[in-house]
Amino acid sequence: MTYLETYQKTAISTFTAQNGLYGNYGGRYVPPVLEDKLQHLREQFFLCQNDPEFISEFHRILKEFTGRPSPLYFARRLSEYVGSAIYLKREDLNHTGSHKINNTIGQILLAARMGKRSVIAETGAGQHGVATATAAAFMGMKCKVFMGAEDASRQSMNVRRMELLGAEVVTTSLGRGTLKDAVDAALGYYIENPDSYYLLGSQVGPDPYPEMVGFFQSVIGNEARQQILEKENRLPDNLFACIGGGYNAIGLFGAFLNDDSVSIHAAEGGGAGPFLHETAATLCMGRPGVFQGTYSYALMDENDQVVPTRSVAAGLDYPGVSPQHASLKDSGRATYHLITDREAIEAFELLSRLEGIIPAIESSHAVALAMKMLEGQKDQLSIINLSGRGDKDVGRNF
């Protein structure tokens, strides 16, 4: 079976929701002006998902433009330090420096098929904004990126990268000026300009975005599965990824969901700890409700109002989460853990020194979780999704 056949078979079986729902979660809670637009998007995505020419073009660009497949790297010194065998799925080596480019290339091709000439996006840490601006430049499309003022300040390098790529960066001072507020601003613009293509940057939002984003990101797990079998002749015992909205995590997890022998763990942005208003750990601290177009877990107070969040990682600083992850939590197939800012910063510094790899502070949450759970477990084989590189975080005063 060729790589493309493996990709198509695994991705389609793993990421198919039933009528836009993952169990009880998902759906489409949007103003009437967007209902027909999103239904049309679902229909066009279904056509492209099942079009061999579209899939072939998607993979050609991922190979020739973004540099896939990304390596599965045995982290020898980290493994020795922890006392357990650990591989890193090196999404940090993709063009633009993170996993984000997989989804943006998939969606920009879909937008082109639909005859769109401009795209809009939201961004937190700036990596999705950079990847969207890159994909738009690649396709010759106009690009507008919404970003919270606080995030724009702490990720100024990525703001400059987006502008250099030709994107218009629109900052918002609503709320705390973080990812939630950028999503609100982008959705508001989309409602007023529904002919734009909204290139959503995580596995959240109304149907069909969770299913669509999961499909384009499944390249991560399909590669990792093939690579670990080639290197170790067996599946891993554990998978680790960070999770904000959830799409780098589902990208790795998706190819292993049917393998009961593989334990699946995700690290949420815990901020200062397990306290509302001081954390972004949605699945650990939240409860189900409708938020930004979908029914999933959200961080809410006793009056069902979404509360402000806190995380050192702008990409994890979001009070909602993927409906697929909500379903995986309830079913027990995956477990979700709170990692504090301090734990993530320590892992950020440690991986840099041990492996010569500076991870994104988001990815550092996954490294911290793996170190915590695997200490001294010599018989275990694990994969951490290193979802992005840390250039953007080096200048920050943690």
Least confident range from 8-17, 247-256, 307-316: namely 8-17
The dihedrals phi and psi of 295, each to the nearest 5 degrees, come to: -105, 115
Q: Which two tokens stand for residue 103?
A: 């989804």
Residue 10 has pLDDT above 70, yes or no: no
Q: How far is CA 364 from CA 97, 249, 342, 368, in A?
A: 15, 13, 11, 6
Residue 344 has pLDDT above 80, yes or no: yes
Alpha-carbon dihedral angle through residues 359, 106, 252, 75, given to the nearest 10 degrees: -40
Question: What pLDDT, on the 0 to 100 scale, is given for residue 331?
Answer: 94
Percent of the chain predicted with pLDDT > 70: 96
Least confident range from 130-144, 189-203, 219-233, 265-279: namely 189-203
Residue 1 has pLDDT above 80, yes or no: no
Residue 13 has pLDDT above 70, yes or no: no
Give me the residue label for tokens 């509360």.
307
Distance of alpha carbon 259 from alpha carbon 277, whole angstroms: 36
Closest CA to 280 of 361, 387, 193, 191: 361
Return the higher-pLDDT residue of 354 and 396.
354
Condensed to tens digits (0 to 9), the pLDDT of residues 82-100 reads 999 999 999 999 999 999 9
Question: What pLDDT, on the 0 to 100 scale, is given for residue 397?
Answer: 82
Distance of alpha carbon 208 from alpha carbon 217, whole angstroms: 14
Question: What pLDDT, on the 0 to 100 scale, is given for residue 3?
Answer: 39
Cα–Cα–Cα angle for 159, 270, 356, rounded to 5 degrees = 60
Percent of the chain predicted with pLDDT > 90: 89
Cα–Cα–Cα angle for 286, 292, 295, rounded to 5 degrees = 55
Residue 15 has pLDDT above 60, yes or no: no
Q: Mean of the pLDDT values across residues 48-56?
A: 97
Question: What pLDDT, on the 0 to 100 scale, is given for residue 16?
Answer: 53
Distance of alpha carbon 361 from alpha carbon 127, whole angstroms: 12
Return the higher-pLDDT residue of 308 and 125.
308
Distance of alpha carbon 106 from alpha carbon 41, whole angstroms: 13
Residue 11 has pLDDT above 80, yes or no: no
Residue 370 has pLDDT above 60, yes or no: yes
Q: Mean of the pLDDT values across residues 238-263?
A: 97
Secondary structure class of 24 (helix, strand, coil): coil
Give me the residue label for tokens 């109304």.
206
Give the residue numbers spanning the domain of 20.
Answer: 1-398
Alpha helices in the chain (DSSP H): 3-14, 32-49, 52-61, 76-82, 100-113, 127-139, 149-154, 156-164, 179-192, 209-217, 219-232, 247-253, 282-285, 323-331, 341-355, 361-374
Distance of alpha carbon 275 from alpha carbon 342, whole angstroms: 15
Residue 14 has pLDDT above 60, yes or no: no
Q: Which residues contact 14 (CB under 8 A, 6 or more apart)?
A: 214, 218, 254, 255, 257, 258
Pairing verdict, β 72-74 and 85-90 = antiparallel
Question: What pLDDT, on the 0 to 100 scale, is given for residue 386?
Answer: 98
The tally of domains found in the chain comes to 1
Condensed to tens digits (0 to 9), the pLDDT of residues 92-126 reads 999 999 999 999 999 999 999 999 999 999 998 89
Instruction: Catalogue the active-site residues.
Output: 100, 122, 387
Residue 281 has pLDDT above 60, yes or no: yes
Tell me the Cα Rg of the chain: 19
Give this prediction's pTM: 0.94
> What's the mean pLDDT when you consider all of the chain?
94
The rounded Cα 236 to chain-centroid distance in angstroms is 21
For the chain, what is the largest distance between any 2 Cα atoms, rounded to a whole number of angstroms? 56
Question: What pLDDT, on the 0 to 100 scale, is given for residue 284?
Answer: 98
Question: What pLDDT, on the 0 to 100 scale, is given for residue 8?
Answer: 43
Q: What is the CATH number of the domain that holds 324?
A: 3.40.50.1100
Q: Mean of the pLDDT values across residues 388-393?
A: 94
Distance of alpha carbon 343 from alpha carbon 102, whole angstroms: 28
Residue 216 has pLDDT above 70, yes or no: yes
Closest CA to 220 of 109, 102, 108: 102
Q: Which two tokens stand for residue 155?
A: 């990720």
Are the C-beta atoms of residues 296 and 210 closer than 8 Å to each other? Answer: no
Distance of alpha carbon 74 from alpha carbon 227, whole angstroms: 11
Residue 5 has pLDDT above 80, yes or no: no
Question: What pLDDT, on the 0 to 100 scale, is given for residue 316?
Answer: 95
